[in-house]
Amino acid sequence: MEKKSVEILVGIFVLLGMLGVVFLALKAANLGTFSSGDTYALYAKFDNIGGLKVRAPVRSAGVTVGRVVSISLDPKTYQGVVHVEVERKVQFPSDSSARILTSGLLGDQYIGIEAGGEEKNFQPGDTIKQTQSAVVLESLISQFLFNKAADAGSAAPPAAAPSGAKK
Amino acid sequence: MSAVVARLGRTTIEVLRILGHHATFFVELIRACPAALRRPYLVVAQIHAIGNLSLVIILASGLAVGFVLALQMYYALVTYGAAESLGLIVNLSLTRELGPVVTALLFAGRAGTSLTAEIGLMKAGEQLAAMDMMAIDPKSRVLAPRFIGGIISMPILAVLFSTVGILGAYVVAVLLIGVDSGNFWSIMQAGVDVKRDIGNGIVKSVVFGFICTFVALYQGYEAEATPEGVAHGTTRTVVIASLGVLITDFVLTALMFSTP
Amino acid sequence: MATSMEEAAKAERSNPDALIEIDHVVFGYDRSRTILNDVSMTFGHRKVTAILGGSGCGKTTLLRLIGGVHPVDRGEVRFDGQVVDSRNAEQLFTLRRRLGMLFQFGALFTDLSVFENVAFPLREHTDLDETMIRDIVLMKLNAVGLRGAAKLRIAEISGGMARRVALARAVALDPELIMYDEPFAGLDPISMGVAANLIRTLNDSTGGTSIVVSHDVEECFSICDYAYLMSSQGKVVAHGKPAQLAASEDPEVRQFIRGEPDGPVRFHYPAPPLAEDFGVRA
């Protein structure tokens, strides 16, 4: 094989490889959606973060505006502290609330921020005070059963002890 | 009883000797690399022989695997109403696992055996000894360029395998089955991380390139200088390289992907 | 050329006329078998010296030791007065630039053409530009009679032609010492004559020294100045000028020179008595 044609072919080969990487990075992954650096940090404390994972989205009105960066436990208050990065061009009033929601019925959990009414906005590094923890399935079921039992108990004669009541 | 122990001892010593021999060979190969890098055309010629000439089988296999993955995953996902996630599943399967591993196995079979046979026959024909007598180090002139060429070719081949696989899956999922095109890409993009999935996949393929090329060169160099010797050498290359890749894949996957 | 080399040699030499000296060398590839048992030889400047012997007597091993491929177990191998140390990479490098070796079946690089093969040592060891290299390669090929075959691929040439190309490659850098490993093996009579002629002419025209390892007595005697005969035990059985060896009365020498089937080297491989194997009562 001619020296020059070999070099050209190898050049094409390497170029194809690079194009493949670019394709995978842009079309097939989330490189193009967020550029880090144009974000600011916010913190939120929850009693129970449920199944929230790092890299989960932060949404407001359903639109993704940020990502969860890290989750840790506050050693003093025993609350879960979630560090999120929000796009710089999206500002939230300082009385906005954060909830942990589930996408779909049994899907991944994400943080939803509902804008409040204050004039002032959150500064980078602020902590969101109003939070609502994740809905834990077990508490939901036990609550449901307790309510059911309470209804049954009030309808039946008071002498009959409510059986199967769980608290 | 003592005969069994003696045999065990002999086998252990033999295994240790082989391990040491491998290590010495590896060190000499690495030491020969700088000299090879000063002659870039040698490396380029090897990338052509190893990488370019493997393109056909890699691309064809990638396409086929992409087709099959899309089909199989669709049947599994549609029962849970999750057919929209098809793109994501296919991408993760390819970039994390199938891309690097299947490419490595095909590489061992195609490029690995050709390297082993070439080196083995060169040794049998005294070509390497002739170079030695001409005061030319055969390791820098012949072995190192092939080693470097293999390590460079493998990640490129793996990336192309995954790319073609995803495109093939797109063809089957969107054009043939009718999964929504927008969802196919957007759910995939939301779920695949460049550093974690694609990056780790590339790291894996570099490691596999190391393994396959090293095994191929070693088996060729150490093969007996007879037709049977070379034949055995090529078989050993495929077996050892394939096993090495699969076991290393398990270790790497555990290291890279154990924390969600 | 040889005189200035003599002057340049720093170490003491026992024999100033010898380019290579093998001094009481003992060597074996592993502990179980000793190939060379206390072998001593000298190879004179500008002479063609032959090493004769049956297969497995260590002739090729001697060439490898001279080239520094293996370290000797005992004794010394000296090249131009300097002891050959196979562990000293630098010394080996300079040593090997001064010698050329013709391997038994050529050992040509099968992926290169005839021209590329001969050009190989020039390209690797010199900085000459392509026009100079082309001239030198064609001159060397012309010396072996294959200038017209320069463009051929190795797969296209015959065995005899391959040997000649390998010879052109071995002399590409005009080495002081050329070693031939079985240059006549497997060649037809014409090619053998050509090869023998080339060995002698090259040696004389370049003023170099040649060592020919072979078991072809006739061809060797026709071109060599001195010869050593080795036995399968790795010892030198006899040495001298061809005429001396041909006239020798030693039974081992006579058997080899004349090609007698039975003599000191037995025809029969050691076996139990005939009667035993065929069940015949003696």
pLDDT for residue A127 is more than 80? yes
CA pair distance B3, B197, nearest whole angstrom: 52
Give pLDDT, residue C5: 52
Model confidence at B113, in pLDDT bands (50, 70, 90)?
very high
pLDDT for residue A32 is more than 60? no
- Would you give the end-to-end CA distance of chain A in angstroms? 82
pLDDT for residue B258 is more than 90? no
Query: Per-domain residue ranges for chain A?
Result: 1-32, 35-137
Whether C124 and B133 lie within 8 Å, measured CB to CB: no
Give pLDDT, residue A28: 67
Residues of C at the B interface, defined by Cβ within 8 angstroms: 67, 69, 92-93, 96-97, 99-101, 103-105, 107-110, 120-121, 124-125
pLDDT for residue C118 is more than 80? yes
* Chain A residues with beta carbon closer than 8 angstroms to that of B188: 28-29
CA pair distance C184, B226, nearest whole angstrom: 22
Give pLDDT, residue C11: 45
Q: Is C108 helix (H, G, I), strand (E, B) or coil?
A: coil
Give pLDDT, residue B109: 95
Whether B129 and C69 lie within 8 Å, measured CB to CB: yes
CA pair distance B148, B140, nearest whole angstrom: 11
B229: number of Cβ within 10 Å: 14
Residues in chain C: 282
Give pLDDT, residue A125: 84
Residue C172 backbone dihedrals phi, psi, to 5 degrees: -55, -35
Strand partners for C74: C26
Q: Is C82 helix (H, G, I), strand (E, B) or coil?
A: strand
CA pair distance A80, A111, nearest whole angstrom: 13
Mean pLDDT of chain C: 86
Give pLDDT, residue C274: 82
Model confidence at A105, in pLDDT bands (50, 70, 90)?
low
Residues in chain A: 167
B125-147 per-position pLDDT tens digit:
889 999 988 989 999 999 999 99
CA distances from residue C19 to B48, B110, C226 in whole angstroms, order as listed:
46, 49, 14
Q: Is C51 helix (H, G, I), strand (E, B) or coil?
A: strand
Asked if C210 and C48 touch (Cβ cutoff 8 Å), the reply is: yes
CB-neighbour burial class of residue B155 (10 A; exposed 0-12, middle 13-18, buried 19+): buried
Residue C104 backbone dihedrals phi, psi, to 5 degrees: -55, -45
Mean pLDDT, range B244-260, rounded to an integer = 88
Strand partners for C102: C180
* Chain B residues with beta carbon closer than 8 angstroms to that of C124: 134, 136, 141
Closest partner residue to B159 (CB to CB) among A6, A17, A53 is A17
B52 close to A (CB below 8 A): yes
Q: Helical H runs in B79-199?
A: 86-92, 99-107, 113-124, 127-133, 138, 144-170, 181-191
Lowest mean pLDDT among A39-53, A103-117, C82-96, C231-245: A103-117
Contacting subunits of C (3+ beta carbon pairs below 8 A): B
State the nearest Cα–Cα gap between A165 and chain B, in angstroms: 35
CA pair distance C187, C202, nearest whole angstrom: 19
Give pLDDT, residue C8: 47
What would the two tokens of residue A12 be?
Answer: 């094409």
Asked if A101 and A112 touch (Cβ cutoff 8 Å), the reply is: yes
CA pair distance A126, A93, nearest whole angstrom: 11
- Chain C: residue nearest B133 by CA? C96
- Chain B: residue nearest A64 by CA? B190
C75-94 per-position pLDDT tens digit:
889 888 888 888 888 888 88
For chain A, the three-class secondary structure string (H helix, E strand, C coil) is: CCHHHHHHHHHHHHHHHHHHHHHHHHCCCCCCCCCCCCEEEEEEEECCCCCCCCCCEEEECCEEEEEEEEEEECCCCCCEEEEEEEECCCCCECCCEEEEEECCCCCCEEEEEECCCCCCECCCCCEECEEECCCCHHHHHHHHHHHHHHHHHHHCCCCCCCCCCCC
Question: What's the pTM?
Answer: 0.79
Whether B48 and A9 lie within 8 Å, measured CB to CB: yes
Model confidence at B162, in pLDDT bands (50, 70, 90)?
very high
Parallel/antiparallel/unpaired status of strands A80-87 and A39-46: antiparallel
CA distances from residue C219 to C189, C196, C251 in whole angstroms, order as listed:
10, 7, 21
B181-208 per-position pLDDT tens digit:
888 888 888 778 778 888 899 999 999 9
What would the two tokens of residue A49 be?
Answer: 């973060």
* Chain C residues with beta carbon closer than 8 angstroms to that of B135: 92-93, 96-97, 125
Mean pLDDT, range B174-178, rounded to an integer = 88
Q: Running DSSP on this structure, what letter comes out for residue B142?
A: I
The percentage of chain B sitting over the pLDDT mark of 90, rounded to a whole number, equals 73
Give pLDDT, residue A164: 45
* Chain B residues with beta carbon closer than 8 angstroms to that of A53: 260
State the nearest Cα–Cα gap between A149 and chain B, in angstroms: 34
Q: Is C153 helix (H, G, I), strand (E, B) or coil?
A: strand
CA pair distance B233, B215, nearest whole angstrom: 10
CA pair distance B183, B174, nearest whole angstrom: 10
Q: Is C231 helix (H, G, I), strand (E, B) or coil?
A: coil
Parallel/antiparallel/unpaired status of strands C82-83 and C74-79: antiparallel
pLDDT for residue C145 is more than 60? yes
* Chain A residues with beta carbon closer than 8 angstroms to that of B48: 1, 6, 9-10, 13
CA pair distance C22, B99, nearest whole angstrom: 59
pLDDT for residue B223 is more than 70? yes
B28-39 per-position pLDDT tens digit:
999 999 999 988
State the nearest Cα–Cα gap between B163 and chain A, in angstroms: 6
The percentage of chain B sitting over the pLDDT mark of 70, rounded to a whole number, equals 99
Residue that has been written with the tokens 């949404």 in this structure: A59
Give pLDDT, residue A35: 52
Interface test with B, best of A13, A103, A108 (most B CBs within 10 A): A13
- Tell me which residue of C269, C178, C239 sits closest to C53, measured CA to CA: C239
Model confidence at A166, in pLDDT bands (50, 70, 90)?
very low
Q: In this predicted model, which residue has the larger pLDDT, C191 or B26?
A: B26
CA distances from residue C185 to B122, B126, C44 in whole angstroms, order as listed:
21, 16, 25
State the nearest Cα–Cα gap between C13 and chain B, in angstroms: 25
B193 close to A (CB below 8 A): yes
CA pair distance B259, C1, nearest whole angstrom: 73
Mean pLDDT of chain A: 80
Give pLDDT, residue C10: 42
Q: What is the ipTM of this complex?
A: 0.80
What would the two tokens of residue C224 be?
Answer: 């060599």
Q: Do chains C and B touch (3 or more CB pairs under 8 A)?
A: yes
Asked if B214 and B29 touch (Cβ cutoff 8 Å), the reply is: yes
Give pLDDT, residue A165: 46
Whether B197 and A14 lie within 8 Å, measured CB to CB: no
Model confidence at B108, in pLDDT bands (50, 70, 90)?
very high
CB-neighbour burial class of residue A37 (10 A; exposed 0-12, middle 13-18, buried 19+): exposed
CA pair distance B68, B60, nearest whole angstrom: 12
B38-47 per-position pLDDT tens digit:
889 999 999 9
What would the two tokens of residue B60 be?
Answer: 């064809």
Q: Helical H runs in chain C?
A: 2-8, 59-66, 89-97, 114-125, 130-143, 159-170, 189-206, 217-223, 242-246, 251-258, 274-278
CA pair distance C108, C152, nearest whole angstrom: 13
Asked if C110 and B127 touch (Cβ cutoff 8 Å), the reply is: yes
CA pair distance B47, A40, nearest whole angstrom: 46
Asked if A128 and A135 touch (Cβ cutoff 8 Å), the reply is: no
Contacting subunits of A (3+ beta carbon pairs below 8 A): B
- Tell me which residue of B222, B89, B103, B215 sits closest to B153, measured CA to CA: B103
Closest partner residue to C103 (CB to CB) among B122, B130, B141 is B130
Lowest mean pLDDT among B44-48, B65-69, C151-155, C231-235: C231-235
C17-73 per-position pLDDT tens digit:
788 888 888 888 887 888 888 889 999 888 999 999 887 788 888 898 998 888 888
CA pair distance C152, C130, nearest whole angstrom: 19
A150 close to B (CB below 8 A): no
Give the neighbor-by-neighbor strand order of the sheet with A57-60: A127-128, A39-46, A80-87, A63-73, A57-60, A109-114, A97-102, A130-132
Whether B130 and C107 lie within 8 Å, measured CB to CB: yes
Give pLDDT, residue A152: 80
Torsion-angle region of C160 (φ positive above 0: left; ψ -120 to 50: alpha; else: beta):
alpha
**Side chain identity at B28, as an amino acid letter?**
E
State the nearest Cα–Cα gap between B47 and chain C, in angstroms: 16
